[in-house]
Amino acid sequence: MSTPPILALALPSATGRVLSIQSHTVQGYVGNKSAVFPLQLLGYDVDPINSVQFSNHTGYPSFRGQVLNGEQLWELIEGLEANNLLFYTHLLTVCDPVMGDEGKLYVPPELVSVYREKVVPVASMLTPNQFEAEQLTGYRISSEKDGFEACRVLHHAGPSKVVITSLNMDGELFLIGSHQKSKSHPPEQFKIVIPKIPAYFTGTGDLMTALLLGWSNKSPDDLASASELAVASLQALLQRTLQDYEKVGFDSKSSSLEIRLIQSQDDICRPQVRYKAVKYS
């Protein structure tokens, strides 16, 4: 007697179903390890595809692991499609490797044009840091006004929502957000001033992008409110991370800190907004 085929039906999600294509590390929280759990806490079904699988992030003296190539990635996509499982409300991907930060390019210069010409036009939301925004726009950001103008340039390229997650100038750190709800109207723009924490953390950009996706989908017409909630969760998590390292006598300035993600579940689910968005006109 033959065995009947197994039919597994993936039920739709009330909040959303996310395909997250990012790096994976066995130890620590970067890439998918930093993004999947927070989105699940916010009520999303998340299916991760690991673009790399490393023992640890590359900031350590050494690492081991594998890199998923294009053919292997496509094989996974085809497997989902063959079983009618390739249906998602959101695609979350952080360009891996990240373009760069703090004035340093992490990828070959010729790859920047690929991001600019192929990735940006199909994105609905873009979350670059200051350096990445400069690379994508060719626009030097040396003031708040420059940051908002860079957002407009990126809107013109495609995305309706742009959040430059960290601008560092004149001793101040802040986030800039911009939402162009209609091509015939100017974007709604704002900034959130963020306190500086005297330490370096890993995985914060991946976490911030996930939080922005989660909260902006819950409030699709209010990017400022979504950004306030994302900033609130991230800041509470970073403060907890710093405090926990200092409790055991670790010098927080000596190396990067692994974020305390699991210990910050309440801050992710129920963030307490302390830093408010200020509209830009």
Active site residues: 206
d(CA 131, CA 137): 10
- Pair of tokens at residue 145: 């006004």
- Pair of tokens at residue 102: 């703090």
- 97 DSSP assignment: S
d(CA 224, CA 216): 9
Q: Which residues of 222-261 are buried (b: 16+ CB within 10 A; e: fewer)?
A: ebbbbbbbbbbbbbbbbebbbeebeeeeeebeeebbbbbb
Q: Please report the DSSP string for 158-223 in residue order.
A: S-SEEEEEEEEETTEEEEEEEE-S-TTSPPEEEEEEE---SS-EESHHHHHHHHHHHHHHHSTT-H
- CA angle at residue 99 from 135 to 119, to 5 degrees? 75
- Pair of tokens at residue 187: 């974007």
Residue tagged 């991907």 (tokens): 93
Neighbours of 45 (CB within 10 A): 18
d(CA 54, CA 26): 6
Residue tagged 């036009």 (tokens): 121
93: nearest Cα among 144, 36, 136 = 36
